[in-house]
Amino acid sequence: MNAATTALLDQADAAVTQSLNAFRVFAEHINGTIGAAIPGPVAQHFLTQLHDGIHAGAIGFCHHLSPAAPEPTFWAPWAAGKVRCKTCMTYAYERVSRTTENHRCDRCRRRAITMHTTGVQLPAVVLDLPTRPLSLPPIAVTYGLCSTCHESDRTAV
Ligand SMILES: [Zn+2]
Ligand SMILES: [Zn+2]
């Protein structure tokens, strides 16, 4: 493995650690928890949407992100067009924070008073290509569910 790939792997590792720490802080902020688990059917639905969207070119990356410099990134189904850096995701949150979208289930689209914030942390991926190494950044996938969809995601594995 060449020095550029080793350096990119180190940077990707640091980005994953930073992303997991931010995930943990966010979970504590909303009195939640994090842990390892097999994604439920709702999580699998969103991960498939993200995967297929990236492969089809329907989901892009905000212009701050570079495959040569992995950093923590974010994707949410209510702003599905892009994987975003922290700054761009903060703007996206601010746009919906006082709208009805903030109380609409991301899976069934019904309005709900009680929303269950849920998320999946994806690791970074480094590709050791012949020309130069490239990285897909770690992606925090977060979404809000109504109680019914939240329960179906937890029980049907
Ligand atoms: Zn950005
Ligand atoms: Zn729902």
> pLDDT tens digits for 89-109?
999 999 988 888 888 999 999
Q: Which of 124, 6, 152, 144 is nearest to 67 (CA)?
A: 124
- The tens digit of pLDDT for each residue in 47-84 reads 999 999 999 999 999 999 999 999 999 999 999 999 99
Stretch (H or E) spanning 119: strand 116-122
Q: Please report which ligand is nearest the Cα atom of 85.
A: 1
Residue 155: per-residue pLDDT:
62
Q: Inform me whether the pLDDT recorded for 157 exceeds 50.
A: no
How far, in Å, is the centroid of ligand 1 from the Cα of 8? 20
Is a pLDDT exceeding 70 seen at residue 141? yes
pLDDT at 38 over 70: yes
Which residues touch 85 (CB under 8 Å, ≥6 apart)? 62, 64, 65, 71, 73, 74
Give pLDDT, residue 101: 82
**Could you give the number of structural domains in the chain?**
1
What pLDDT shows up at residue 33? 86
Closest CA relative to residue 25, chosen from 86, 78, 84, 81: 86
Comparing CA positions, the residue from 58, 55, 54, 56 lying closest to residue 73 is 54
Range of the domain at 116: 3-155
The winner for highest mean pLDDT among 14-18, 27-31, 114-118 is 14-18
CA of 65 to the centre of ligand 1 (A): 6
Q: Which residues pair with 84 in a beta bridge?
A: 74
Residue recorded with tokens 């069934």: 108
The whole-angstrom separation of Cα 24 and Cα 50 is 22
Kindly list the protein residues that place their beta carbon closer than 5 angstroms to ligand 2, a single-atom ion: 105, 107-108, 146, 149
Q: Report d(CA 103, CA 147) in Å as an integer.
A: 12
